[in-house]
Amino acid sequence: MKKQFAVFGLGSFGRSVALTLENLGCDVVVVDKSYEKIQEISDMVSYAMRADVSDPDALHALGGRNLDGAVVAVSESLEASIMATIISKEMGIPYVLAKAKDELQGAILEKVGQMPLPIQSAIWGNGGKSLMSTAFADWIELSSEYSMAEVVIPEKWVGRSLSELKIREQYGINVVGIIQGVQVDVTLDPYEPLPEGAILILIGATSVLEKFHTWK
């Protein structure tokens, strides 16, 4: 049975996560109040709904009991992020992750019961599960089968492009962003050489990510 996820908010990060999960074979439901954003993505995900993510009636209509996880990607509005998180918890969604624009917002969101993803400050949530492997800067479970991980670019990858490495083709893992200092870029150029010291944001099967140290 396919895993089912909801993504609330279709900014660059939310859109990237939604499309990645859909490409991994999951059923993805997206919600955003922008008609244009919903129209742009409607043919690329399982279901796209135009609604305010802080509207309880709209989110309850999704039927959260069938969802394996939710990503709240509306850090621009703390109120909307809090409401979407609380509603998701009330719906019984087992994994709820949220994007926070800074540490203060992350701390507030953590208080309402989910793991914060302060992506803009390049610090992943305190609820992240770190692996024993030192290759990972941080790790967050999206479900029992899929995870999102930060990985420091290995020395052998520096100067090579994503197109050359063929990470998705070889391992079924999607690169959804790169962190350099405090800057996060989710519009990666597949032909741009990877810089030394940067961090890649990966999404994929947990069983494959755990073997990252064996990748060539």
Of 88, 91, 138, which Cα lies nearest the Cα of 114? 88
Distance spanning both ends of the chain, measured CA to CA = 31
Q: Residue 109 has what pLDDT?
A: 63
Residue 117 has pLDDT above 60, yes or no: no
Give percent of the chain above pLDDT 70.
77
Q: Residue 188 has what pLDDT?
A: 80
Mean pLDDT taken over the chain: 77
Domains of the chain: 4-121 (3.40.50.720), 136-214 (3.30.70.1450)
Least confident of 6-20, 44-58, 79-93, 148-162: 79-93
Q: Is 11 helix (H, G, I), strand (E, B) or coil?
A: coil
Compute φ and ψ for 23, nearest 5 degrees.
-65, -25
Q: Residue 53 has what pLDDT?
A: 86
Give percent of the chain above pLDDT 90.
19
pLDDT digits (tens, 9 = 90+) for 167-208: 888 888 888 888 887 677 777 888 999 998 888 888 888 888
- Torsion angle defined by CA atoms of residues 28, 71, 126 and 80, in that order, rounded to the nearest 10 degrees: 180
Q: Residue 129 has what pLDDT?
A: 33
User: What's the rounded Cα separation, in Å, for the pair 169 and 172?
Assistant: 6
β-sheet bridge partners, residue 174: 203
Q: Residue 123 has what pLDDT?
A: 31
